[in-house]
Structures are given as C-alpha cells and as structure tokens.
Structure 1
Amino acid sequence: MKLKIISIMFLFVMTFYSQNKNQKTYCNPIDINYRYNWEQINENISYRSGADPVIVNHKGEYFLFVTISGGYWHSKDLLNWKYIEPTKWPFEDMCAPAALSVHDTLFLFQSTFQQRPILYSTEPEKGELNFYNRWLPQLPKDVGPWDPAIFYDEDTNRWFMYWGSSNVYPIYGCELDHSKKLTYKGKYKSLIKLHPEKHGWERFGPNHTSNIKPFIEGAWMTKFNGKYYLQYAAPGTEYNVYANGTYIGKDPLGPFEYAPNNPISYKPGGFLTGTGHGNTFQDNFGNYWNTGTPWIAINWNFERRIAMFPAFFDKDDLLYANTRFGDFPHYLPTRKIQNKDELFTGWMLLSYKKPVEASSVLDTFKISNLTDENPRSFWVAKENKKGEWLKIDLQNEYEIKAIQIHFVDYKSNLFDNDTSKVYTQYKFYVSKDGNDWINVVDLSNVKQDRPNGYFELEKPIVARYVKYENIYMPTPNLAISDIRVFGNGFGEIPLTPKNLKVFRQKDKRNATITWSKENNVVGYNVLWGIAKDKLYQTYQWFGDKEPKIELRALTIGQDYYFAIESFNENGVSKLSDVIHIK
C-alpha cells in the first residue's frame, strides 16, 4: 500500500513520537523490555516474562525488581524505565526478590530454600551490589524463605522478614537482628494461612472454580497509622483471579485480623487479568501504589507481565487498590491525589472488535484476534519481514490519543537477551480516509525491546484508520495479540444499565449478577464492596457477552453492595443505584 506522508507533519512526528518527552500517562502492563526467561531452556520453550514485582522508592527514584530478569530497572518518573545489569550477581539469578530502601541503602534478597546472603547498594543506579551479610541461617526443609519481604519499622527501629509460597505451609514471619547484620532474631512464626471455605476469592482455578488446594504467597508489609498490613497473594498465578489480600495487626508479628474488604487488589475481567503478588509503595508525592502480576500464558503457563494500580487507605484505614479501567491509560500524578478515580484519563477503548486487514496471515490464525481484547489469541504473518502491515478500521472518526501493542513469542527460539538482536522496530500511522497517512509512532531507528509498547500521542489526532508497519522483530515469527487504540468519540455516552439484580447463592461465597443490555455499549463495569461508599472492586465485562456474571469472590458472613456502569468509545455512563445484599 502506498503511503502518502504529509511532509511537515512527518517531521513533527519524527521529532516527538519516536519518544514523546511530554508523555504524562501510562497503561498496564508496564512498558519495559521484558526479559527472555532461560528457566525453560531445557523444555525448549522461549518467552518474555516478568513476575513478582517489587518497586522501591529509593532516595526519590524508583527501582523495579522482577523474577529471573538478570538485573533490574531504574526510573525517575515511574514511566521511563532503564534496564540495569549489575556489575556482578554473586549467585544465580533472583526469583521473587525482596527489596527495601532504608535511609541511603537499598537492600536486596532472593527467594531461597538454602543459605543465601542479603545484598546492599548505596548506588543501585550504577549496578553496584555488595554483601550485607554472607548468608542467613538455614531454615528447616521446605520452610523457605521463599517469596521473602524485608520490613523496617522506622518508629521502633526493628527489622522483620516475611515469606511463604505454598499450598501446604502458611506465611511466616521473624524479627531480624540488625546488630548481627540482619540474621534471624528468635524463632520464626506462622502468621496467616488461606481459608477458602470462607473466602471465595481464595479458591483456585479460573473464576475460582477448581478444587485444587490454593497457594498463599507473595508476602509484603506496609505500616499505616500505627497499624501493620501483612499482604499476601492467592490463589495462584495461572488464572484471571490472582489477587492480593491483607490482614491487619497492631504488631509486626501479629496477631492479625482478616480485612473485611479483601481482596484488596482484584481484576478478573478485561484485557489484562490478575493482580496478585506485588508490593505496596509510595511515590514522591505520597501516593500509594500496589503492583502485581497479570497473566499472559501463551507459550508457558507462567508467562506474565507487570502492572501497577493506585492504592489508598480509606477513612476507616482499609487498604485497597483501584483496578477500575485498570488496563486503560492513566495519568501519572504530579501531586497528592484526592480520590480513587482522578488518575483515569477518560480515554476510552476505540478498537474493540473493530475490523482489521493484514498484509498476510499464516495458516488459520485470525486477523480478528488483534482487536478481541484477549492476550492469549493472536495473529501471525506469513513471514517475519520488513513491510508487513495491519490496518484497523475504527468505523468512525475519533480523537485518537494513545496506541498500545502486544507482541507474542510464537514459536520463539530466543533464550538470551543480546541487545544486538533482541529489539523491536515498528511504526504506526493514522488516517481519515485510509489513503493519506500520518506517521504517529516511529521506532525504525531505535533499538529498544518494546514488546508491550504504549505510546501517548503528543497531540490528539482525529482519524478513522490505524496502521501498523513492521520494521524488525527478533523472533522467527511476527505475531501480535492485540493493538489497542485509545481516545474519545464525538457521540453519546451510553445509558446507565437497568435492572441490575444480584442473587446470593446458597453457597454465600458466590453471587449471580444480571442486568439489561444497553445499546451502543462496549462494556460494563460491575462495582461492589462492603459499603455503599466502599465500592472498591470492579469486574469489567464486554457488551457483546451475555449480561450475566457469576462472582465467586465473596466472604461468608459479609454484606455487600453492588452497582453497575456502562462505557463506550465516547465515555462512561452514570453509576446505577446501589443494591445491598446480605
């Protein structure tokens, strides 16, 4: 297809869109160079992945540690992340690492069932790591510490470690002796365990439908207003319902009480599902964030990505993360935010189920997979060559504000991260008529690996068509799961859904939710919580599905409140009246 570029606009775009220095938004999953995981090399399975994130605010800058990544990432703004490969790893790569910043020192520790050292750095941005101690004492077989977290209580000058990853053992905790280089002080304690017979969200499987014994893991501790929030992940990373919960205590080692609004971070619907196993941190403005591990699972069941969601403590000191529109563009804050939804840009999904054309298609892969909001379905080109293209017809003119792309490692043969070959180069164009094109993203001269690239346009552009052009991909195949286009239309927002009904089943962990379909709707958000003013949970549901959800995440003995809203390319409806169920 011949591209007619408007020369003045092309120069403007080349200056700004190859790297928009004025970008103010982010979109989950975090746009980093996810690393190829050597863990499955003996299985001949190749895939990029990132899991079990810990983001640490260290001296006003941010450091991201991720499972088996050969290093870590550094950012000054939570948007632009630079990968750092340490000058030396003193042992094999880290799985589910613990990280903590205290004063001028960053501490780092790996998951292990053996004796391992705690590391430290005063200049982590330079990749310099040193031994803080040589090893912690050996714990009994199978106890750990796996999935560790280190916590420093500044008010009392005490140190602690929490850990556990098992469907047999609980989350453990132990005080650490700082005078002895953070070795264990006293005996470790059993702190919390799962109770899936009471807490519906702790049940295993897709939508909590499996009888397999669930896993508790990913401990993290946060102190707020004199209370200690021991966080954990459940029921397993492989499904859409992976989530974070918390217990609250008055002492770092308990006793702890189950938070009534659990899970505190939960995202079972939408494009990116699963929020479990992360951490809670504060940014430079005092805002809280909760990180987690969304589930991808194309080449391997444990193929994952990294997400972060704004988190809050409400007037009753309940901790929660806001996952409403959690995979849509959000602003990064420039001050202390005042309400849970103010970071949402209001930029809507313009591409859902919109028709696509392709330069070629391999075998029976469907072009329609590119706009189905399912990361586990994808398109593959006949050849991985320069010039392969995709064209999305949005079917109406919209004000386009951002584009996100998700590549797939279909039949990949890469097991290293050699930057001389592992990078992605591509372009995006927009057009009003499908003939005259404006280049809005150009990575043709940038050697960065952007497998989940998110691009905020410098200025909104009114257009109907979006085109992707391939330049270079390191994998044997050019494969893409989704191209997601965000912005706003010029039509009417949808009406508030009517006839919301919630029926709590005989098994009180479950509820059936129904409503009447509305016209001109892309999707719905079912919101629920433990009070009318605590609708902290969201289940996103696309409008072409039956208007019915079985929610299996409730706690026995807990009352709940429900409401619903609809959304389309133009905006979001008013929230419905709130329903109370016992």
Structure 2
Amino acid sequence: MKKIAIVVTSFCFLVACSQEKAGAPVKEAETKAQAKVNTILLADPTIFHDKGTYYLYGTTTGNVNGEGFQVYTSPDLKAWNGPVGAQNGLALKKGDSFGDKGFWAPQVIAYKDKFYMIYTANENIATAVSDSPLGPFKSVTKEPIIKTGNQIDPFVFIDDNGKKYLYYVRLTNGNRIFVAEINDDLQSIKQETLTECISGTLPWENTENTNWPVTEGPTVVKHNGLYYLIYTANDFRSIDYAVGYATSKSPLGPWEKSKNSPIISRKNTNQNGIGHGDIFFDKDQKMHYVLHTHFSSSEVSPRKAAIIDVEFSGNELKAVNNTFHFLNN
C-alpha cells in the first residue's frame, strides 16, 4: 500500500507496507502539490458520511505521517476543506494512540453513540474513540487488538444480525487477508473464528512474480445476500496495483474470486498504482470507491486521493466508466 523513500525496516520494504517517509521534506511535498493544483495527498483513503458531511481520512504524506491522521471535510464530495482535525488538523495524534510511527489506513465508523477509528500503527491494529468525526480520537488501552505477529489494513464490517467482523492483512508469506469476529468493545477478536480469506495467487495479483505476493486494503459490502470482499493486489509501487473482488455466502468465507477482476486499474483510469481504498455510500445511497494513485507516471509518492463510482449489475460489481476524478481542496 503505499515514495520518495519508505520509512521501514528491510522486512517492511519487502512486504510493501503502506506509508510515506516520516521526515520527508515538506517543501518538496508542497511543491509537488502546487504543481498538481490542489489535489489532496493521501494514501489508503476512506470516506465516512455523517449528518450531511463527508469526512476524508488516510495515510498522510510527509512529516505528518509519524504524527497521526489528518481529516478533510466536504458537504458534496466536490469541495474539500482541510485538514480540519481537532488537533492542528489531526483527528488522531501520536500520544493519544497506540504506537508512535507508521500511522496507516484508518477506518471510521459510528457505533454506540460514539465514533470509532480502527487504524494501523507500528504494524499492528488498534482502536480509538471520539465524540466527533473530527476527533480528538483517543485509544483507551493503547494496546493492539491482536498481540502476536504483524498486521495492517483493518476494516470492521457490521452484519445485519449485529455480528461484527475485523478484516485485515497479516504479514506472513505475503500480504494475506484474514478475518475474525471482533468483540463488542472493538478491542479484541474471537480467536477461534480467525480465518484466512485470500492471498495473491492469480496472474493479475502478482504481475512481477515476486516471492511475497500482495493482497491488501480489504473492504466488505453485502448485496443480495452475498458478501463482497474488495481488495487491492500487487506491490503499491507497481503500476499494476489494482482493485478486484471476491464473493462469499458467509462473512468468514470461503471466498470465490471474480473472473472480472481487476475492476479498477490503470486500464480504465489512466492512472498508475491505483487502489487501496474503501467503498462508501453518499447521501443518495449511490456507491463510490475512494482510492489513491501514484503521484505521476514517473513518481510513486506522495500519493493522490481520488474517487470512482461503482455499481452492481446483477451480482457483478463493476466500475462506472468516466467517473474517475481526483479530490481537490
């Protein structure tokens, strides 16, 4: 997921973790931003809609990457303001959180009259709580949800029956997507339900034939009784980073990969490195996918936030032609 350079160990470099360099030169990032008008520079983006306002979060570019998560707002998905987080633009900041580096891939949900942020830090997954989507989000326990191994890219799905599931990426012989039921406090999983969903086994998912195949950035929706696991495959630095999906009759699988994948790629967007985003519905219940792209045809980072419309045709999920656009502020 997700450079001018990557702040990681050599292990993380191989597994293609989502990040921007902590300490990247601010002036360089600002110059690049100005060169591309005012495109919002975020990787692994997510959009949360609440009471007529859209909130945009993601892995932040440059120095802020080591400090927490910024948030932008919009009334209409067209004009974006920010960063407008409660703490100097940040919705969550280091010190209030688990971890002290590698703040990647947040998700925000409304739950039990509070707002919950599920996020990655220090290559583990944690939860923070706030009274407002703008923050400040704070992690009460400052402990990871899963205390063994390394995992990233969390996504919480709440089913019609109230059961809650945590989808995430485990860094083990590749970036592999797992799922487990998560307890009502959103702080721990039911270990006995832990199940592997998918890994990178198809040609489009590993175009460079690496020995560490990558499937990451999971998001889940339910349609006509089927569960749709939308994910991104390939190393985030690859121009072939792209989005596909798999379906199942159960949130725990087994999953059948779509023969139509990838559904979002450089072929139908004319952008390199496109993926790792989130499905969301607007105020009219129209479905969209927010994602990131490479900065340009020659540079991976800082990555840019964009939206493309998606829709169901029967039980097939597909992108809507000519709807791709970048997010500007």
Same fold at TM > 0.5: yes
User: Which residue matches 2:60?
Assistant: 68
Query: Residues of 1 paired with 2:141 and 2:170: CA distance?
Result: 24
Q: CA deviation at 1:172?
A: 0.8
Q: Distance in 2 between matches of 1:270 and 1:309?
A: 9
* Correspondence 1:457-496 to 2 at 5 A: none
Distance 1:114 1:453 in 2: 29
Shift of 1:219: 0.9
Identity of aligned residues (%): 24
The question of whether the paired residues in 2 share the 8 Å contact of 1:57 and 1:101 is answered with no
2:129 aligned with 1:147, yes or no?
Answer: no
Matches within 5 A, 1:241-280: 241-268=240-267, 271-280=270-279
Please name the residue that 2:204 is paired with. Answer: 201
Q: 1:123 maps to what in 2? A: 132
**Paired AA for residue 39 in structure 1:** K
- CA–CA distance in 2 between the matches of 1:103 and 1:86? 21
Distance 2:287 2:256 in 1: 22
Q: Which residue of 2 aligns with 1:52?
A: 44
2:318 alignment counterpart: 320
Q: Helix, strand or coil for the counterpart of 1:66? A: strand
Shift of 1:119: 1.3
Contact in 1 for aligned 2:214/2:234 (Cα 8 Å): yes
CA contact 1:56–1:101 (8 Å) conserved in 2: no
Tell me how far apart the structure 2 counterparts of residues 71 and 299 of structure 1 sit (CA, whole Å).
26
RMSD: 3.0
**What displacement does 1:177 show?**
0.8
Q: CA deviation at 1:148?
A: 1.1
Q: Aligned partner of 1:322: which letter? A: V
Distance in structure 2 (CA, Å) of the matches to 1:137 and 1:162: 12
- Aligned equivalent of 1:359: none
Paired position in structure 1 for 2:177: 171
CA 44–122 in structure 1, closer or farther in 2 if over 3 Å, else same? closer
Amino acid at match of 2:181: E
Q: Kindly indicate whether residue 239 of structure 2 is the aligned counterpart of residue 218 of structure 1.
A: no
Q: CA deviation at 1:55?
A: 0.9
Structure 1 length-normalised TM: 0.44
Q: Secondary structure at the match of 1:151?
A: strand
Alignment of 1:7-406 (within 5 A): 39-41=21-23, 46-47=28-29, 49-68=41-60, 70-83=69-82, 84-87=84-87, 89=93, 90-91=96-97, 92=100, 94-102=103-111, 104-112=113-121, 117-125=126-134, 127-131=135-139, 134-142=142-150, 144=151, 146-153=152-159, 155-164=160-169, 166=171, 168-178=174-184, 180-187=185-192, 188-196=194-202, 200-204=203-207, 210-213=208-211, 214-268=213-267, 271-296=270-295, 301-315=300-314, 317-324=315-322, 326-327=324-325
1:496 is matched with: none
- Residue type of the alignment partner of 2:49: N
* Matched-pair contact (CA < 8 Å) for 1:297–1:303: no
State the distance in 1 between where 2:133 and 2:22 align.
29
Equivalents in 1 of 2:123, 2:206: separation in Å?
30
2:165 and 2:179 in contact (8 A); partners too: yes
Distance in 2, matches of 1:74 and 1:50, equals: 14
Query: Per chain length, whose mean CA-contact separation is higher, i.e. which structure has more relative contact order (CA < 8 Å, sep 6+)?
Result: 2
Tell me the alpha carbon deviations over residues 88-146 of structure 1, each in whole angstroms, 9 at most, x when there is no partner.
62134621112223474332122145666411233224x3324465434443223x1x0
Following the alignment from structure 2 to structure 1, what is the Cα–Cα distance between the partners of residues 270 and 246?
A: 29
Matched residue type, 2:244: G
Is 1:241–1:268's contact at 8 Å kept on the other side of the alignment?
Answer: no
C-alpha displacement of 1:221:
1.0
Specify every segment of 5 or more residues in structure 1 that has no aligned partner in the other structure, as ranges: 1-36, 205-209, 329-451, 455-582
Highest CA radius of gyration, 1 or 2? 1
Paired residue secondary structure (2:56): strand
CA contact (8 A) 1:109 1:119 kept: yes
Q: Quick check: 1:249–1:256 contact (8 Å CA) kept in 2?
A: yes
1:42–1:296 distance in 2 versus 1, CA, 3 Å: closer
Aligned residues: 281
